[in-house]
Amino acid sequence: MMMTAVQDLTIGFIGLGKMNGAILQGLLNAKIKSDKLWGVASSSEDAQKKTDEFGIRVYGPKEYAKELSKTEFIFLGVKPHKVADALAAFKQQLALEPLKKGLTLVSIAAGVQLETLQKTLEIPLPMVRVMPNLGVAVGHGVSTLTSNALVDKEHEKVLITLLKKLGCCEVLPENLFDAATGLVGSGPAYVLLIIEALIDAAVHSGIPRAMAKQMVPQLLIGTSLLLEQSGLHPAQLRDNVVTPAGTTAEGLSVLEAAGVRSAIDEAVQAAIARAKVLG
Ligand SMILES: NC(=O)c1ccc[n+]([C@@H]2O[C@H](COP(=O)([O-])OP(=O)(O)OC[C@H]3O[C@@H](n4cnc5c(N)ncnc54)[C@H](OP(=O)(O)O)[C@@H]3O)[C@@H](O)[C@H]2O)c1
């Protein structure tokens, strides 16, 4: 079977909030044509607002059946507690029109398992769970992916190619999805806290805030690129910049004494525990 090129895909978005909006923005930046993308808002009034915001056609929650005969993937991006309502509306829409062969539901809802989605929808459908993060809006997101047994492997490959246009994408067994939620989904917030703390430390040392706001993100970007391109372990790369009895050694010893390493691990484990409760 010929693989569909990602530019030829038609993709729907149920819910156009922060995360689905970020995926949509990433696809538009990756030159996916806006006429291949459509969305569903929580009300017809909101649909008009979202059309103006994103420049794609957006429907009310029960008005999108006509798109289903040409759509390959639909991203479900509503809050976990609203998934059942969105799926009830989706089920009604599915009954109205013939579906494109292989039409796949891609849920990004944290903690909602494939089995739960299937039971709620009550119709056997190819389904994929993806845990993305907000970096997808700028082509540097992290996404993990797992599929149910009805997903054709070629179709899965097409979705992975699509998600790789937005950053990296790793296939992960579903039992590690709570871990992915705690690391990948919540990750940008941890990094932003560290960025904020470094900016405040810079200001504390006398550097103007506007300047610190430029310098600190670049510090993270440069370090990440260096790590990626060198292929080194972070500790090896760090050793290269730590002069014996130097300034960096002094700073690092304070971070270690403050337990930063274990605090980060505890934060990720707490987020994972919370994801399990919400699911
Ligand atoms: N934000 C993240 O960083 C992130 C990361 C990974 C995964 N996720 C997952 O992504 C999902 C969405 O999160 P979010 O942060 O993007 O939430 P959000 O900003 O609240 O977006 C959800 C959107 O869906 C709309 N909506 C609700 N019910 C709907 C329906 N039946 N049909 C169509 N649209 C409907 C909401 O409209 P109203 O506001 O009018 O209800 C809202 O605009 C969640 O399940 C979350 O677990 C989020």
Could you read off the pLDDT of 68-85 as tens digits, one per residue?
999 999 999 999 999 999
* Tens-place pLDDT, residues 200-244: 999 999 999 999 999 999 999 999 999 999 999 999 999 999 999
- Of all protein residues, the one whose alpha carbon is nearest to atom 43 of ligand 1 is 17
From 13, 14, 19, mutation site for ligand 1 pocket: most ligand atoms within 8 A of C-beta: 19
Residue 101 C-alpha from the chain's centroid: 26
- As its CATH architecture, domain 187-278 has Orthogonal Bundle (1.10)
How far, in Å, is the centroid of ligand 1 from the Cα of 82? 8
Domain with CATH 1.10.3730.10 in the chain: 187-278
Residues with CB under 6 A from ligand 1: 14-20, 40-42, 46, 61, 77-80, 82, 85-86, 89, 108-110, 131-134, 185
Instruction: Assess contact for 41 and 59: CB atoms under 8 A.
Output: yes
The pTM of the full predicted model, rounded to 2 decimals, is 0.93
Superfamily designation of domain 6-177 = NAD(P)-binding Rossmann-like Domain (3.40.50.720)
- Write the residue with the smallest CA distance to atom 45 of ligand 1: 109
DSSP letters of 118-168? HHHH-S---EEEEE--GGGGGT-EEEEEEE-TTS-HHHHHHHHHHHHTTEE
Where is 234: in which H helix or E strand?
Answer: helix 234-239
pLDDT of residue 4: 84
Nearest CA to ligand 1 atom 18: 17
What are the residue ranges in the chain where pLDDT is below 70?
1-2, 279
What span, in angstroms and rounded, lies between the C-alpha atoms of 21 and 188? 16
